[in-house]
Amino acid sequence: MGQSLSNVIGQSSVGLLWLIAALGAVKLFKKDNIKPIYAFIPGIREYFIAVIAEREEAGRTYFMLIVLRIAVGLLAGIFDADSKIQNFWNVIVYTLAVTQVLFSIMIFISLCDVFRQKRRNAILWALFPNLMALIWGFSPKYMPQHDRELTGDIENAARISGASIEAIQNGLTVNLTDRSVMSMGRKRYLLKDIHLSIPTGHMVLLLGGSGAGKTTFLNAVTGYEKANAEIILHGRNFYNNYDNMKYDLGFVPQQDLMRLSDTVYRTLLDAAALRLPKNISREDRKKRINDVLDRLGLLSVKSSQVSKLSGGQRKRLSIALELISDPLLFILDEPDSGLDGVVARNLFERLRAIADEGKIVIVITHTPDRVIDLFDDVIVLAKDAARTGRLAYYGPINEAYKFFGKSSMEEILLSVNQKDEGGEGRADEFVEKYVSEYMLSEGSETPKQNDSIFKTG
């Protein structure tokens, strides 16, 4: 009876300690945007405490030491009849235990640094980890203060508009609430609060510094990496109708993806077989290919091998591959990369002609000022204080110059780039200005309806 009672008390104590550790870790994890569920799993819990302490590698090692101690303990139980082998296993277990303690102290010292507490608190963490997790988790006095270069200054980031604009019937409407990823158990926001409409017939420049989220934004629009967003193309939800609408969108990546040994005509013939309806006649398919070749100035080289084309011709062929299905939306990632000024100008003039036919063309280029007269509008993305890609401006080119007080796209880009990137570090200023002046009604948190900035038609 006494033995049974002792067992019950012992098991209850273990359960209580586990609950205390879990409750403290839950509150601790919430302070650092880590999923609370991890607090209930021994070993994983300690790993994420190391993540909070910015000692992720040490946390991995600590977790592996726990696994090894369990494995060695099981092996020791198998050989308990042999005292020499038993002693051998005991030495390994004690060595692992000591190593584990050393790593835990290393993690706890870093944890004190992150929470801006004296390092001597690491001793208390080593002796009473469950109690310390409970105190630091529940007390508002203890808050992690990570390096702002890594995590961003969330408190000083420009406000979120909460806007949602009405979809237009003839064009592209993007209502992107956010795009996030999980990194070491934390949710990291790549993009937030991007709302815009682009009418048909418009050619739009996508401008932003490194890490501002240009590629992430394009991937969200194309559905390659879906975001928490609603993408409406000509009145239809692109995400919900992806299989039926995927050829309504043409995407030309920076790198050309073609077999160099094929001819230009054969390359387009293969693309036509994939993208055009199966019931189209052979003559109609041939006519479509020749029309596309003519529009992009490639008829004279249709029998040439891709490997023999110049850089400009090869880029035009990449565009032709997407144009073959007559898409509604064209997206191009640095189509002028590696091209000289004259060739690049000719390429952009052809893109302008495609837009004038009632298409939407969105382009990333690192040399926008030499062809800016061909664009209608500009989307400016910038990293706010929280290091999240935000919309700093969307609208006509001439209004962009007034909005930023600059005379070129290069100057606009420098104004929103971070200071450590050689810019002026004014991203939050312009994001806030855009939210205030173009997205929210004056003196309220209500989204503006049909404002001219959404506008550009």
Q: Residue 5: pLDDT band by 50, 70, 90 thresholds?
A: very low
pLDDT digits (tens, 9 = 90+) for 69-82: 888 777 766 665 55
Instruction: Give the phi and the psi of residue 240 in degrees, each rounded to 5.
Output: -75, -20
Give CA separation, 108 vs 53, 60, 293, 446, in Å.
7, 15, 66, 46
Per-residue pLDDT, averaged over 88-93, amounts to: 78
Give the pairing of strands 360-364 and 249-252: unpaired
CA distance 346 to 356: 15
- Class of the CATH domain delimited by 155-454: alpha beta
CA distance 113 to 108: 9
Q: Which of 145, 154, 147, 148 is nearest to 386 (CA)?
A: 154
pLDDT digits (tens, 9 = 90+) for 200-210: 999 999 999 88
Give me the residue spans of the domains in the chain. 2-145, 155-454
Q: Residue 151: pLDDT band by 50, 70, 90 thresholds?
A: low
The more confident residue out of 382 and 149 is 382
Give the pairing of strands 389-396 and 171-183: unpaired
Q: Answer yes or no: is pLDDT of 158 > 90.
A: no
Q: Which of 155, 177, 161 is nearest to 432 (CA)?
A: 161
Q: Which of 427, 404, 409, 326 is nearest to 363 (CA)?
A: 409
CA distance 436 to 448: 10
Predicted pLDDT of residue 321: 86
CA distance 215 to 219: 6
Torsion angle in degrees (nearest 10) through CA of 215, 216, 220, 225? 110
CA distance 132 to 126: 9
pLDDT digits (tens, 9 = 90+) for 295-334: 888 888 888 888 888 888 888 888 888 888 888 999 998 8
